[in-house]
Structure 1
Amino acid sequence: MSERWARAILTTYRWAGAAAYPLVGGYIAWRVSKGKEDRARRHERYGRPSQKRPPGPLVWVHAASVGETIAVVGLIEHFLASGINIVLTTGTVTSASVAAERLGDRVIHQYVPLDLKPAVSRFLNHWSPDLAIMAESEIWPVTILELGARRVPQVLVNGRMSDRSFERWRKRPFLSEALFENLAHVVAQSEVDGERFRKLGARPVTVSGNLKVDITLPPADGGALARMKDAIGERKVWAAVSTHEGEEKIAAEVHRMLRRRHPDILTVIVPRHPDRAAALKAEFAADGLDVVCRSGGEPIGPRTDILLGDTIGEMGLYLRLTEIAFVGRSLMGEGGQNPLEPAMLGTAVLAGLNVQNFRDAYRRLIDRGGARLVRDKQMLAGAVNFLINNDDMRHSMIAAGQTAVEEMSGALSRTLIALEPFIHPLIVKSRLQSGNGRAA
């Protein structure tokens, strides 16, 4: 495929999306019915703004979901301190809640427009960003091409390229190059990610490490934590967090295995998608397990088998109840979930073998001795049982995990250095427009 054909395909993609635009209403309505969209703000998905653009320089920061949103908070705090306006887009209701919790009204939050030309054009016409910063693996062709056509610099930060995505792009080298050449800079999480972006045509590419290492974890609700710990007492506790479909059932089966040796054991299950909690509770109850949901305020009793963590923004609370955490999307599904928060909060980390999306973080944790991988539910049950019975090994893993996290720190400062050529002119512009007069 030639470069000319690649550009023709991308152009066709843009206009095909424009033609399909009138048909997406049903899709959005379906998502609203499932609780995946904010009914009152669904117009934002069509690029229709709900707020006015403030005067002065403005940076558009996009973070798809909760993890990405938390990861870019440090960057946003730096921009705000420099007098730069921020419009932050996210793609999920839960990430919108996290943005409101962490940043409040200091930023303008909008739901990200659909990657269709009419929606993206309307969004860009209104907000007219001076710089676009996308987090992790958000590669939206129409958005990238529209920004490129307007000569808006766009930077990918905390860049990550999964095995599957890399293989897909590598089969279409001219197509990937025609798209990735629009990126003014890629700041990758790891050397592997950086090399993949280079092979796909991105220039320049630097490596910063993972921004999620440098986040400031919010404190847990002290009163709630104390009450839950009092209710748990001396019981043994382990957690399965960020679980995906099928892994909750595995966690429940592991609970039954462990209960033979530890009759009073409590299992904490935190599904990645809390809206599945009601169905999970019914399923577990049908199997004879005593289940309480955090969202319902149900107290943990002496016979409680499973605590379902079905609230948003309380992962720190659940992890502070235990010293052993299995991180999901690693036994069922592919790619894994972020193990850094469990390591930061003092748990020995367990996961399945499918952790490709967080390969670098797991490699460092495993090399230090802070994490172990398991093949199946039998091996998971054995690992949890071993750590319950061996205080020295459990505490050694916890300390090793925290050491590994400390060694991985510094991504925020390295990312800010990479962004300096893009941000400094905006700081100067902001100061001049505010009448400060000092353009340093």
Structure 2
Amino acid sequence: MTRAPAPLPLRLYSAAANLVAPLAYARVKDKLAAQGTDPARLPERMGRATARRPDGPLIWFHAASVGESVSVLRLITHMGEAYPGWSFLITSGTATSAQVVASRLPPRTTHQFAPLDARRAIDRFLAHWRPTAAIFVESELWPQMLARSHAAGIPMALINARISDGSARNWKRAPKTARHLLGVFAHIHTQDARTTAHLQDLGLHHAKTGQNLKSLSGALPFDPAEKDRMTRLISGRAVWLASSTHPGEDDLMLAAHKTVLQQAPDALLILVPRHPERGLALETLIATSGLSGARRAIGGQITGQTQVYLADTLGETGLWYALCPLTCLCGSFTPVGGHNPYEPAYAGSAILHGPLYKNFADTYPLIDASGAALEVADATELAQALITQLTDPAALEAVRSRARAFAAAQENVLDQITTDLISALDLEGVQ
């Protein structure tokens, strides 16, 4: 069936995006290069493949960055086990996502950087990869990528969709544009009822609420030998983790730790910034706070005098969750909106968090109610919760058990998600 012409705003956007594509490529190329990306892979952003297309069906997953990319890895693994003749392609746009995904690729899966949203780049990409189906993740929706994929006859789905209230208000000012953009999807799986309501208000009545894929992430990987080594270094100490901190949260974590040290002088804080490139600034912050620190990225080691261990390295979050019995999950004390609580829960780490968690608005109340997590408002409440749990090992172990149970309860939905996708994308029998 022929689609109606794109609304004027989309036509204007496409013309502008195509015009500025060379400038945009120069900018993203420089950024990726500065982040250590292999220069040979930079042309992927213009749709020039650096890997061979495998024979047989190829299912393309497109995600924005680390969290979205990682959230689909277990789904890809599950689909690959059910359909051993299929191969998979993941595209994303950031250097960090490429590094993390490369270390965790499921069998028969390739990662490429996503092409810029420019017609020639996308057409070049599609001509090489010829996806059997395309599955877009969350809110990574580029107009020309969607339009060109649809024009190529590729069946498409949107999974784990999330639309903020602000974005929904913007969409409702241009409902025709929204329906045209999102109408390419044969299947829309949302991660919360609020997003479903927003999409249905726009006329996308096939949008259905499903399980948040980030609940299926599983325990993050880690090096067992390094865990054993670190366990020996911290043996006997009261250890807690501040995970995925953002600017404005590090001071809060350090202030709480100073209070903890008054009750537990041997306490150790492992501080993991969301963005490791902040390491040097945080090293200075720790020093000026009067605490004794060691910085992992430059070879710093934990000694008996270390009060704060700055773990400013990439891809080791799974190690810290496995190592630490108690995690303060950040991004929830500033308007970032919170990070994935299932990751520490799968590792059996009890969770503390702040009050700002709009990204997981349906999840945090549930995990709090399960007794696996606790909300705290500020450094004072955080310090009190830390002292309470770190000084009562039996109670802390009970919270950790509830965290594991909460995560394990999410495991039974991969079959249903796969079945829904196979049906909606008409993939049954594809070999």
Mark yes or no: TM-score above 0.5.
yes
Specify the SS of the correspondent of 2:386: helix
Q: Which residue of 2 aligns with 1:94?
A: 96
Structure 2 residue 101 is the aligned partner of structure 1 residue 118 = no
The worse-fitting range, judged by mean Cα deviation, of 354-363 and 279-288 is 279-288
Rounded Cα–Cα distance in structure 1 between residues aligned with 2:174 and 2:385? 43
Q: What is the deviation of 1:343?
A: 1.4
Q: Which residue of 1 aligns with 2:238?
A: 236
Residue 7 of structure 1 aligns with an amino acid whose one-letter code is P
Rounded Cα–Cα distance in structure 2 between residues aligned with 1:198 and 1:176? 11
Q: What is the deviation of 1:304?
A: 0.6
CA displacement 1:249-295 (0-9 Å, x = unmatched): 22122222222222111001111111221221133224333222333
CA displacement 1:323-360 (0-9 Å, x = unmatched): 21111111123211111111121222111111011112
8 Å Cα contact 2:190-2:207 kept in structure 1: yes
Q: Which residue of 2 aligns with 1:352?
A: 354
Rounded Cα–Cα distance in structure 2 between residues aligned with 1:182 and 1:4? 12
Q: Which residue of 1 aligns with 2:386?
A: 384
Q: Which residue of 2 aligns with 1:57?
A: 57
8 Å Cα contact 2:37-2:95 kept in structure 1: yes
Residue 158 of structure 1 aligns with an amino acid whose one-letter code is N
Q: What is the deviation of 1:382?
A: 2.1
Q: Which residue of 2 aligns with 1:326?
A: 328
Instruction: Flag the 1:167–1:423 CA change in 2: closer, same or farther, 3 A.
Output: closer
Q: Which residue of 1 aligns with 2:17?
A: 17
8 Å Cα contact 2:78-2:414 kept in structure 1: no
The worse-fitting range, judged by mean Cα deviation, of 8-17 and 366-375 is 366-375
Rounded Cα–Cα distance in structure 1 between residues aligned with 2:221 and 2:129? 34
Rounded Cα–Cα distance in structure 2 between residues aligned with 1:78 and 1:390? 39
Rounded Cα–Cα distance in structure 2 between residues aligned with 1:56 and 1:33? 33
After superposition, residues 134-213 of structure 1 pair within 5 angstroms as: 134-213=136-215
Rounded Cα–Cα distance in structure 2 between residues aligned with 1:144 and 1:229? 48
Rounded Cα–Cα distance in structure 2 between residues aligned with 1:46 and 1:79? 29
8 Å Cα contact 2:71-2:213 kept in structure 1: yes
8 Å Cα contact 2:269-2:308 kept in structure 1: yes
Aligned residues: 427
Rounded Cα–Cα distance in structure 1 between residues aligned with 2:229 and 2:63? 34
Residue among 247, 250, 263 paired with 1:248: 250
Q: What is the deviation of 1:117?
A: 2.5
Q: Which residue of 1 aligns with 2:429?
A: 428
Specify the SS of the correspondent of 1:278: helix
Specify the SS of the correspondent of 1:60: strand
Q: Which residue of 2 aligns with 1:435?
A: none
Q: Which residue of 2 aligns with 1:342?
A: 344
Q: What is the deviation of 1:164?
A: 3.3
Q: What is the deviation of 1:104?
A: 6.4
8 Å Cα contact 1:184-1:203 kept in structure 2: no
CA displacement 1:292-324 (0-9 Å, x = unmatched): 233344321011111122222221211122221
Rounded Cα–Cα distance in structure 2 between residues aligned with 1:267 and 1:6? 54
CA displacement 1:48-93 (0-9 Å, x = unmatched): 1112323332221112222222221122224434212222112222
Residue 405 of structure 2 aligns with an amino acid whose one-letter code is T
Specify the SS of the correspondent of 1:209: coil
8 Å Cα contact 2:330-2:339 kept in structure 1: yes
8 Å Cα contact 1:188-1:194 kept in structure 2: yes
CA displacement 1:117-136 (0-9 Å, x = unmatched): 23222212222212111112
8 Å Cα contact 2:25-2:46 kept in structure 1: no
Q: What is the deviation of 1:365?
A: 0.2
Rounded Cα–Cα distance in structure 2 between residues aligned with 1:175 and 1:238? 48
Q: What is the deviation of 1:22?
A: 2.4
Residue 18 of structure 2 aligns with an amino acid whose one-letter code is A
Rounded Cα–Cα distance in structure 1 between residues aligned with 2:385 and 2:36? 36
Instruction: Flag the 1:132–1:319 CA change in 2: closer, same or farther, 3 A.
Output: same
Residue 13 of structure 1 aligns with an amino acid whose one-letter code is Y
CA RMSD of aligned residues (A): 2.4
Structure 2 residue 34 is the aligned partner of structure 1 residue 40 = no
Specify the SS of the correspondent of 2:361: helix
Structure 2 residue 379 is the aligned partner of structure 1 residue 372 = no
Rounded Cα–Cα distance in structure 2 between residues aligned with 1:106 and 1:4? 37
Residue 46 of structure 2 aligns with an amino acid whose one-letter code is Y
Residue 55 of structure 1 aligns with an amino acid whose one-letter code is D
- Structure 1 residue ranges without an equivalent (≥5): 431-440
Specify the SS of the correspondent of 1:48: coil
Q: What is the deviation of 1:180?
A: 1.3
Instruction: Flag the 1:333–1:47 CA change in 2: closer, same or farther, 3 A.
Output: same
Rounded Cα–Cα distance in structure 2 between residues aligned with 1:375 and 1:218? 27
Rounded Cα–Cα distance in structure 2 between residues aligned with 1:237 and 1:186? 42
Identity over aligned pairs, percent? 34
Specify the SS of the correspondent of 1:428: coil
Residue 258 of structure 1 aligns with an amino acid whose one-letter code is V
Residue among 258, 268, 271 paired with 1:269: 271
Specify the SS of the correspondent of 1:267: strand
Residue 274 of structure 2 aligns with an amino acid whose one-letter code is R
Rounded Cα–Cα distance in structure 2 between residues aligned with 1:277 and 1:221? 22
